[in-house]
Amino acid sequence: MLSINNLNKYKENNRLEAKLATGGLPKSIWQTYSAFANTNGGVILLGVDETADKSLNIVGLDAPEKLISDFWNTINNSQKVSINLLNDSKVKVLEYEGKKIVAIEVPRAERADSPVYIDDNPIKGTYRRNGEGDYHCSEEEINAMYRDKSIKTQDMLVLNNMGFDVFCYDTIRSYRNVLRLHRPEHVWTDLQDDDFLYRIGAVAYSESGKLHPTAGGLLMFGYEYEILKEYPHYFLDYQEQYDTSNRWDDRFVSSSGEWSGNVYDFYRKAYNKIAQNLKVPFKVVNGLRVEDTPAHKAVREALANCLIHADYYGRRGLVVKYKPQEITLENPGRFRIDIAVAIEGTVTDPRNSLLMKFFNLIDVGERSGRGIYEIYRVWSDMNWVSPSLTEITDVDRTKLILPLEKVTIKSDDKKVTIKSDDKKDGKKTIKQKELILSFIQEHDEITTREVSELLQVSVSRGKVLLHQLVNSGEIVSQGDNKNRSYRLPYDEHTNAR
């Protein structure tokens, strides 16, 4: 929860909403509750006004307890709100200079609880947050939330109307050759193709007792024209741009008809293109040249993640763009967990668990959930500008940008590469870290969301800053993933900070 003592430092944003509420519980509070729950969570302040310059002014409430009572009565009415995500600790009365306000901390809803809607109508009562306002979700966005509710992932669906002829057996042979290379003693190595497909989950028995492709098997090994029968908007696009005057200098797409168009062949083609362009020095281990560097592994992880977490029912396709200065990977579908948790590397929740299994079998992808964390770590070790992982909420997309440029700051009007950890991201980062440490000194601890609100940065950027401060020993973390906060380290001898 944010600190009322620093309220003048905050402004309304994607995770903070101020409402005057002097006339009672505002009706719009339920739209904001739904919007925060369906986006990335946030804090609603009652008794606070937004001034002309967008700063917040504490007006205060005469009867905050009555307001809280009305709030609980309404949120627990299933005819008004689909689900109550809160407990007593999330709704508090705060006081500053004799004025009382109510602060309501709304968490991001778990996918099993989404969509969170109001007025007993998911079509008309589902909202999300975009910028500083709440907007009504489209039916397409709502359908995507319902797809993600299922315990079974999207690609586990058995396609009863399809047979083995949907598969490109050249792709399957290529995949099996890579599997033999990585796992030469695996028990599935010598199986016939159809039996192999069953063992890995690319085909499964339907209720009629016959084997049919799974959606994951179709995506990984099928022909593009067959994939379109299940996923009408399926489209994979790889682009390279060297001259900014050109839209692209090289490109291949899944719909060209010149290759299979499936996920696995796209992965191979795209990774081979990027690997040839990735200017990373090779290493020498025991006198042997090793060209498969941590940066190459991180790129494979990023590409596999993009393909594994995509919502292939989404309207817009998956796009990978290579430029000399950065790699951009963009897929349909939001992250199924909070991005800060994904960066932390302790939880994974793939949208397509079979695709994850297929990639894991050939040693691509991290099943432990540390994939995004490792990407950030490698980029930090390489002294490259930190990756950017964001969600584009109103179109349900996830974008990962991997800069390929060294971190620099300006010194005497000249760009200088920064190699020391405390200057890794330049003067702005140093100032941000100073603000974080100042906040902790005043309030004893800080959370990732408080960092985001204090600095007006994304949650993922706040997580990176906290991670760097932990690594340097300036702060320590405490609590589990959902309740994690950060404080100054205790002195072992005095037990003081």
149 within 8 A of 112, measured Cβ to Cβ: yes
Q: What is the pLDDT of residue 232?
A: 96
Residue 416 lies in a domain: no
Q: What is the pLDDT of residue 119?
A: 96
Q: What is the pLDDT of residue 497?
A: 43
Residue 408 lies in a domain: no
Domain of 120: which CATH number?
Answer: 3.30.950.30
Is the same domain home to 330 and 260? Answer: yes
Is the same domain home to 16 and 110? Answer: yes
Q: Using CA atoms, how far apart are residues 69 and 162, in angstroms rounded to an integer?
A: 56
pLDDT tens, residue by residue, 127-178: 999 876 899 999 989 999 999 988 888 999 999 999 999 999 999 999 999 9
- What the block records as the tokens of 64 is 């905050």
Asked if the model's pLDDT at residue 351 lies above 60, the reply is yes
439 within 8 A of 488, measured Cβ to Cβ: no
Q: Using CA atoms, how far apart are residues 350 and 153, in angstroms rounded to an integer?
A: 8
Of 377, 403, 429, at which residue does a domain stop? 403
Which DSSP symbol is given to 495?
Answer: -
pLDDT tens, residue by residue, 171-212: 999 999 999 999 999 999 899 999 999 999 999 999 899 999
Q: Using CA atoms, how far apart are residues 405 and 326, in angstroms rounded to an integer?
A: 7
303 within 8 A of 379, measured Cβ to Cβ: no
Query: Binning pLDDT at 50, 70 and 90, where does residue 328 land?
Result: very high
Q: What is the mean pLDDT of residues 468-488?
A: 78
Is the same domain home to 225 and 124? Answer: no
Dmax over CA atoms of the chain, in Å, equals 77
If you search the block for the tokens 């964001």, which residue do you land on? 390
- What the block records as the tokens of 139 is 């039916």
> 12, 133, 1, 7: which is closest to 60 by C-alpha?
7
Task: Find the helix or strand (DSSP H, E) in which 58 lies.
Answer: strand 56-58
Is the same domain home to 324 and 438? Answer: no
According to DSSP, the residues that pair with 18 across neighbouring strands are: 45
Is the C-alpha dihedral spanning 182, 188, 194, 198 positive or negative? negative
Domain of 433: which CATH number?
Answer: 1.10.10.10
Q: Which domain holds residue 425?
A: 421-487
What are the contacts of 287-290 at 24+ separation with CB within 8 A?
A: none
Q: Using CA atoms, how far apart are residues 147 and 74, in angstroms rounded to an integer?
A: 28
Q: Using CA atoms, how far apart are residues 40 and 393, in angstroms rounded to an integer?
A: 10
Q: Three-class SS of residue 210?
A: coil
Which DSSP symbol is given to 49?
Answer: E
> 336, 400, 342: which is closest to 366 by C-alpha?
342
- What the block records as the tokens of 234 is 């399926």
Of 351, 376, 403, at which residue does a domain stop? 403
Asked if the model's pLDDT at residue 67 lies above 60, the reply is yes
State the DSSP string of 133-201: EEEEPPHHHHHHHHHHHSSS-GGG-B-TT--GGGB-HHHHHHHHHHHHHH-TT-TTTTS-HHHHHHHHT
Domain of 372: which CATH number?
Answer: 3.30.565.60
Residue type for position 16: L
Q: How many C-beta atoms lie closer than 10 Å to residue 24's C-beta?
A: 12
Q: What is the mean pLDDT of residues 262-279?
A: 94
Angle (CA) 388-389-391 rounded to 5° is 130
The C-alpha R_g of the chain, in whole angstroms, comes to: 25
Angle (CA) 111-117-118 rounded to 5° is 160
Residue 410 lies in a domain: no
Residue type for position 109: A
Is the same domain home to 165 and 295? Answer: yes
Is the same domain home to 65 and 88? Answer: yes
Q: What is the pLDDT of residue 435?
A: 86
Residue 243 lies in a domain: yes
128 within 8 A of 105, measured Cβ to Cβ: no
Q: What is the pLDDT of residue 318?
A: 97
Distances (CA, A) of 486 to 2, 180, 377, 468, 478: 14, 46, 20, 12, 6
Query: Binning pLDDT at 50, 70 and 90, where does residue 296 land?
Result: very high
Residue 471 lies in a domain: yes
Of 231 and 345, the structure prediction assigns the larger pLDDT to 231
Residue 497 lies in a domain: no
Asked if the model's pLDDT at residue 289 lies above 80, the reply is no
pLDDT tens, residue by residue, 216-248: 999 999 999 999 999 999 999 999 999 988 899
When divided into structural domains, the chain yields a total of 3
463 within 8 A of 448, measured Cβ to Cβ: yes
Q: What is the pLDDT of residue 260?
A: 98
Q: Which residues contact 195 (CB under 8 A, 6 or more apart)?
A: none
Q: What is the pLDDT of residue 33?
A: 97
Q: Using CA atoms, how far apart are residues 314 and 143, in angstroms rounded to an integer?
A: 10
Residue 372 lies in a domain: yes
Q: What is the pLDDT of residue 467?
A: 82
If you search the block for the tokens 């179709």, which residue do you land on? 218
Q: In residues, how long is the chain? A: 497
Is the same domain home to 186 and 135? Answer: no
Summary mean pLDDT of the chain = 87
Asked if the model's pLDDT at residue 294 lies above 80, the reply is yes
pLDDT tens, residue by residue, 77-119: 999 999 999 999 999 999 988 899 999 999 999 989 999 999 9
- What the block records as the tokens of 488 is 């100054």
- What the block records as the tokens of 427 is 């003067």
Q: What is the mean pLDDT of residues 344-362?
A: 89
- What the block records as the tokens of 416 is 């200088």
> In the Cβ-directed half-sphere of 102, how many Cα atoms lie within 13 Å?
26
Q: What is the pLDDT of residue 410?
A: 46
Of 352, 368, 403, at which residue does a domain stop? 403
Q: Using CA atoms, how far apart are residues 438 and 435, in angstroms rounded to an integer?
A: 5
Query: Binning pLDDT at 50, 70 and 90, where does residue 369 land?
Result: low
pLDDT tens, residue by residue, 2-27: 666 666 666 677 788 999 999 999 99
Is the same domain home to 457 and 334? Answer: no
Of 328 and 422, the structure prediction assigns the larger pLDDT to 328
Is the same domain home to 377 and 435? Answer: no
Is the same domain home to 376 and 442? Answer: no
Residue 161 lies in a domain: yes
Is the same domain home to 356 and 470? Answer: no
pLDDT tens, residue by residue, 394-449: 788 999 999 998 876 444 444 545 444 444 446 778 888 888 988 887 777 898 88
Distances (CA, A) of 133 to 15, 100, 221, 352, 398: 10, 25, 42, 32, 20
Is the same domain home to 112 and 246? Answer: no
According to DSSP, the residues that pair with 394 across neighbouring strands are: none
Q: Which residues contact 325 (CB under 8 A, 6 or more apart)?
A: 403, 404, 405
